Amino acid sequence: MKKYYLPAAVFFFIFIILGLVNQMISPPVLILERFFPNYGGWAEIPVISYYGGLLAWKMRDPPKAPRWRKITWTMFSAVFFTQLLAGLFVSETFLMTGKLHLPVPAMIIAGPLYRWEIGFMTLLFISTVILSGPAWCSHLCYFGAMDYLSADRKNKPGRLNNLWTYKYTLLLFIIAGALLFRLVNLPSSYATLGGMIFGITGLVIIVLLSLKRGMMMHCTAYCPVGTLVSLVKKISPFGMRISSSCTLCMACTLACRYQALEVENIRSGQPGRTCTYCGDCLSSCPHHAIQYTFLKLKPGTARNAWLFITISLHAVFLALGRI
């Protein structure tokens, strides 16, 4: 019976959260409720809840989890961009606010600095880091799914020397650029153009460099949100460790697309700061040395707790995370 606990918990949790949202928030944010008031939301909620429970069922087993993470993360990104196109060319009802926000991850940092106000996406992002650490970079980012698909086409992941030099430079560039734009009172159209250029450059990196290197170059080296997540993810109680049963066989390194399992990381007993807790490496270790941590729970229980929160966030954001 224990194998049903996680899927059932995810199903009922999502059902309750979306039910409260559907009842309490106006105007409606569930997509079907917008088109079919009073009953559309209640038709959508069980479907999303079942999807979350099914995903929890499939991801219980570590060897199967990477495949299902890839499938559902790709679908998450596809739904996001399909709705963006529908909002642009079909009906503004598909946009949560009726206003278009530039769908570039870096704008989660640059936008609030330029406008000097915290918006919906910022709160959404902060909540994920508090609840599940770096899950944003392994399950929830609409750009990240494309980066993963590109990098995963190569059997052996590459590595980037001086990785943190690139990460810090680009993070500071985005922060300084947003503050400078605000300081000189640059029109929002110019700020939007800058964001578009940054986003298009990211897509080029995904298509060319991630594919060539077999490493998620956009998420790991280019995206300032990824850098911020790497720096602040410790505010979440979840973590990853490498136990003393590790034999330095380095098999896990071949499963990591985030350059988080280099030899120095493995020897230290701690994955690198770019680790997103994705779990792709778990089944690659013949000694089960890579483990989730959460307070004093056993590794398996800690993993289930992380999956419960992360899959629930994934499913809820799929229903609510609108442009």
Q: Could you give the angle at which helices 299-320 and 40-59 cross, rounded to 10 degrees?
A: 150
The helix (run of H) or strand (run of E) holding residue 254 is none
Q: What average pLDDT values come out for the chain (323 residues) when binned by 10 residues?
A: 86 97 88 90 96 96 94 93 86 69 85 84 86 94 93 88 95 95 89 91 95 94 95 94 93 94 93 96 94 94 97 92 54
Predicted confidence at residue 16, as pLDDT, reads: 97
Q: How far apart are CA 185 and CA 118, in angstroms?
A: 18
Predicted confidence at residue 99, as pLDDT, reads: 54
- Helices marked H in 134-262: 142-151, 163-183, 188-205, 211-213, 217, 224-232
Tokens matching residue 294? 């959460």
**What is the maximum span of the chain, computed from C-alpha positions, in angstroms?**
62
Predicted confidence at residue 102, as pLDDT, reads: 75
List Cα–Cα distances, 111 to 103, 142, 182, in angstroms: 11, 17, 10
Predicted confidence at residue 58, as pLDDT, reads: 95
